[in-house]
Copies of this chain bind each other. A is one copy, B any other.
Amino acid sequence: MSTYSRRTFIEQMGWGLGAAVTLPSLVSMTPERANVQDKQRLNIALCGLGRYANVLKGGLAASQYCRLAGIVTGTPAKAAEWQRAYGIPDKNSYTYQTFDQLSRNPDIDLVYITLPNGLHKEYVLRAAKAGKHVIVEKPMAFTEQDCREMIDACQKAGVQLAVGYRLHYDPHHIELKRLGQDKIFGQVRLMEASLGYRLEGISPDDWHLNKALAGGGPLMNLGVYCVQSGRYVLGEEPVAVTAQIGPVTMPALFKEVEENITWQLYFPSGAICTSSSTSNCNVDRFFASADEGYFELEPALSYGPFKGRTSRAAFNFPVVNQQAAQLDDIAQHILANKPLPVHISGEEGRKDMRVIEAIYRAAHTGRKITLA
């Protein structure tokens, strides 16, 4: 409870934001860095200093409401390097063995977990136990049941739980949601959403190829964005799923997880979303066709910059730092002691994981899986 409650004073002192934190206004604020006092900054510890932590560095540097205050790593050389680069004191530098001592450190408000997928659940539970708010990278966990346990643990500990859903902070995706959910072109009927990266040259020891650490192949790591875009463009949850495991063209690498996978989501309105996610080639596109027109992005689901258009006109939105916008919105909510928006919450992660579980079940059984 400590950290969560500790922040209520900020709101009481009038430093909090207004109730309505609209995403576009946040986005437009990001480029001009306001003079935010350190007391209004959320102190973040990055847990797992791998590839995505290096992407987040840029987001933290560009953020107005966050400060990189701590690290968790099992590699002493990385600890030394990050401490030096960011002026992180020894007392804010943890290993996986000392992680639980975070509970005694009032200088860390939130732990951002960028560990391999298979460690997400354990470290969310440990962060909650330490009384820290948590952002966990996607995929949130391996099963919907895991997600439920993580949500429950955070609720009981009185800390907030977010999933690193950066796309909700990109104005192109905010527009996709508006076009779909507000039926600007009428009812959406068909979506095509695919994301893939060619992993040639990857080490056979990379954790993304290890079932226990990755939980699966590109569906887990990339397909989650395709699933989610279909869900949020419609504002609906799928009622059934079909899926197909694709061929293996790099057998030396893909011994444990799928190399590529295709699937189809069926929504209550009759709309469908078809997707591919692959580790053997690059693909990054989203398309939606509705009764009176279409809209699409390409690139669509990566870090951008995105390019979009509708059947009427090209998109004209600014390029934003997705991670900075995400971090600032989360920080502003937590600093103001307000619940996080549901679309980046653990609950959203649970809904994605429910679909991903069904996709794997459909792919492995060859059957259409109905979602109750």
Binding site for B on A (CB under 8 A): 189-190, 192, 194, 196, 198, 200, 242, 244, 246-249, 260, 262, 264, 266, 270, 272, 274, 276, 278, 280-283, 285, 287, 289-291, 294, 366-368
Residues of chain B within 8 A (CB-CB) of A260 are 190, 272
Of B200, B247, B270, B287, which one neighbours A272 at CB under 8 angstroms? B247
Of B200, B247, B287, which one neighbours A283 at CB under 8 angstroms? B287
Of B192, B281, B366, which one neighbours A289 at CB under 8 angstroms? B281
How far is it, in angstroms, between the C-alpha of A294 and the C-alpha of B280 when the chains are bound?
A: 13
Asked if B291 and A189 make an inter-chain contact with CB atoms under 8 angstroms apart, the answer reads no
Of B192, B270, B290, which one neighbours A192 at CB under 8 angstroms? B192
Asked if B278 and A189 make an inter-chain contact with CB atoms under 8 angstroms apart, the answer reads yes
How far is it, in angstroms, between the C-alpha of A242 and the C-alpha of B246 when the chains are bound?
A: 11
How far is it, in angstroms, between the C-alpha of A278 and the C-alpha of B196 when the chains are bound?
A: 25
Asked if B280 and A189 make an inter-chain contact with CB atoms under 8 angstroms apart, the answer reads yes
Residues of chain B within 8 A (CB-CB) of A282 are 289, 294
Asked if A281 and B274 make an inter-chain contact with CB atoms under 8 angstroms apart, the answer reads no
How far is it, in angstroms, between the C-alpha of A112 and the C-alpha of B349 when the chains are bound?
A: 57
How far is it, in angstroms, between the C-alpha of A79 and the C-alpha of B291 when the chains are bound?
A: 37
How far is it, in angstroms, between the C-alpha of A368 and the C-alpha of B246 when the chains are bound?
A: 12
Residues of chain B within 8 A (CB-CB) of A368 are 244, 366
Number of copies: 2
Asked if A272 and B289 make an inter-chain contact with CB atoms under 8 angstroms apart, the answer reads no
Residues of chain B within 8 A (CB-CB) of A283 are 190, 192, 287, 289, 294
Q: Beyond the given A189-B198, A282-B289, please list 20 additional residue pairs across the A-B interface where CB-CB is below 8 A.
A: A189-B249, A189-B278, A189-B281, A190-B278, A190-B281, A190-B283, A192-B276, A192-B283, A192-B285, A196-B289, A198-B291, A246-B266, A248-B270, A260-B272, A262-B272, A282-B294, A283-B289, A283-B294, A366-B367, A366-B368
26 CB < 8 A contacts A-B: A189-B249, A190-B194, A190-B196, A190-B276, A190-B280, A192-B283, A192-B285, A196-B289, A198-B291, A200-B291, A242-B244, A244-B368, A246-B266, A246-B272, A247-B270, A247-B272, A248-B270, A260-B272, A262-B274, A270-B280, A274-B274, A274-B276, A281-B291, A283-B294, A285-B287, A366-B368
Nearest 3 pairs between A and B by C-beta? A189-B281, A281-B289, A249-B270
Residues of chain B within 8 A (CB-CB) of A274 are 262, 274, 276
Of B189, B262, B266, which one neighbours A264 at CB under 8 angstroms? B262
How far is it, in angstroms, between the C-alpha of A27 and the C-alpha of B260 when the chains are bound?
A: 39
Closest-CB distance, A23 to chain B (whole angstroms): 28
Given A244-B242, A282-B289, A291-B200, A192–B194 Cβ distance below 8 Å? yes
How far is it, in angstroms, between the C-alpha of A262 and the C-alpha of B260 when the chains are bound?
A: 17
Closest-CB distance, A58 to chain B (whole angstroms): 25
Residues of chain B within 8 A (CB-CB) of A189 are 198, 249, 278, 280-281
Residues of chain B within 8 A (CB-CB) of A290 are 281
